[in-house]
Chain A
Amino acid sequence: MCLGIPMKLVEKEGDTGIVEAGGVKREVNLHLVEGVEVGDYVIVHAGFAIQKLDESEAEETLKLLREMLEAGEE
């Protein structure tokens, strides 16, 4: 079971929060993740946050691919 989408935590109260993406909001359970704060992105699966998304790693991944694109065009 692997459907999980990155959403931004916009509200937090104890173990529950509200996540948002593209103007869509949903309640999310934060029990499985530690140290997540409002403004962080989390991977949401079946109503739970299962991991904090590492934004710098996301950027790194994209940067590498962009370099690949540029290299290919030379």
Chain B
Amino acid sequence: MEPERILLAHGSGGKLSYDLIRELFLPPLHNPILATLADAAIFSRQGMRLAITTDSYVVDPIFFPGGDIGKLAIYGTINDLAMGGAEPLYLSIGFILEEGFPLEELRVVVNSIKDAARQCGVDIIAGDTKVVPRGKGDKVFINTTGLGAVSEGVELSVDRICVGDKIIINGFIGEHGIAVMTQREGLEFDTPIKSDAAPLWGLVSQMLEASHGLHLLRDPTRGGVATVLNEVVSGGDFGIRLEEKALPIGEGVAVACEILGLDPLYVANEGKLIAFCQPDEVEHILAAMKRHRYGREAMVIGEVVATPPGKVIMKTRVGGTRLLDMLTGEQLPRIC
């Protein structure tokens, strides 16, 4: 039963999203840069290496603990550039506003955008606004496009990954997705779970400065850590092995996931990065990360292995092995 229409699951970052891109978008638009399907597209012009990326933000609710759609719209694009090793230079922004959306709320969003951009040291130098009739949008959709510059010698790509590379994450997982979901599911927290939304270029530049042993960076947004790791190994001749007991999961996130029947490994993050590093550089990189506010809880969570190739497996807490597959679509709360 081939889906003939777009399903919500096509937007969840899992297998359906992946297939949509590979089967519907890539063939007609194909070119070598696009085909890398990297977070940021890198190209050269007159001796400079530039990076460009674009992202759209449709999060619902638009205000959530720890942030709002405006903050996400800036950080998300900055982070895509950072994953390519690119220093953010400029941003453009496009708004699609729904008829009836209160201007007061729009002002709050724009204020968040201002604060986030200032924090990242980037100016928004181009913009666009459109309005759609009531019911044809969802309050506000935002698109941001980012332009960055990649320094000489910085080469982050899947091709650099070697068996034996260690996999590092900069902190606790699942916070953004749970923060957004809890409002809908009536869960309350003693210490409210806040979105971990954060701009990561500062952390990345410190990591790049500390070591040349950084091979690849990816940010585990929609679909979570497990999805992004599956993307990395897909079609490759190496695999990934995680240690469940090494995974940093906060108690609140863990319990919320237990209640709703969700798996934290598949929950979205907005302030996390996963780094693949040369094993003998891990200590340097971890030390550099811990000096930065967004890297204080950095730790090794796994490594690149030769077998099984193309798969992500995890050694579970009780000593078994589990296959972490790519999600088919959005993760749904279960009772079974």
From A20, A22, A26, B186 is in contact (CB under 8 Å) with A26
A70 to B252 Cα, complex, angstroms? 33
Contact (Cβ within 8 A) B188 A25 = yes
Contacts of B335 in A (CB 8 A): 1, 3, 45-46
A23 to B188 Cα, complex, angstroms? 8
Q: Does A5 contact B (CB under 8 A)?
A: yes
A1-B335, A3-B336, A46-B335 are contacts. A23–B261 as well, Cβ < 8 Å? no
A61 to B335 Cα, complex, angstroms? 26
Residue ID in chain A nearest B336 by CB atoms: A1
Contacts of B259 in A (CB 8 A): 5, 21, 24, 26, 44
Contacts of B334 in A (CB 8 A): 3
Report which residue of A2, A20, A22 has the largest number of chain B beta carbons within 10 angstroms of its beta carbon: A22
A67 to B261 Cα, complex, angstroms? 32
Contacts of A21 in B (CB 8 A): 255, 258-259
What size tier do the contact residues of chain A reach? 10 to 19
Q: Does B191 contact A (CB under 8 A)?
A: yes
Residue ID in chain A nearest B188 by CB atoms: A25
From B188, B190, B251, B254, A26 is in contact (CB under 8 Å) with B188
Report the minimal beta-carbon distance from B265 to chain A, rounded to whole angstroms: 17
Report which residue of A21, A23, A25, A45 has the largest number of chain B beta carbons within 10 angstroms of its beta carbon: A23
Q: Does B214 contact A (CB under 8 A)?
A: no
Interface residues, chain B, CB within 8 Å of chain A? 186-191, 251-252, 254-256, 258-259, 261, 334-336
Interface residues, chain A, CB within 8 Å of chain B? 1-3, 5, 20-27, 44-46
8 nearest A-B residue pairs (beta carbon) = A22-B255, A23-B190, A22-B251, A1-B336, A24-B255, A25-B188, A46-B335, A21-B255
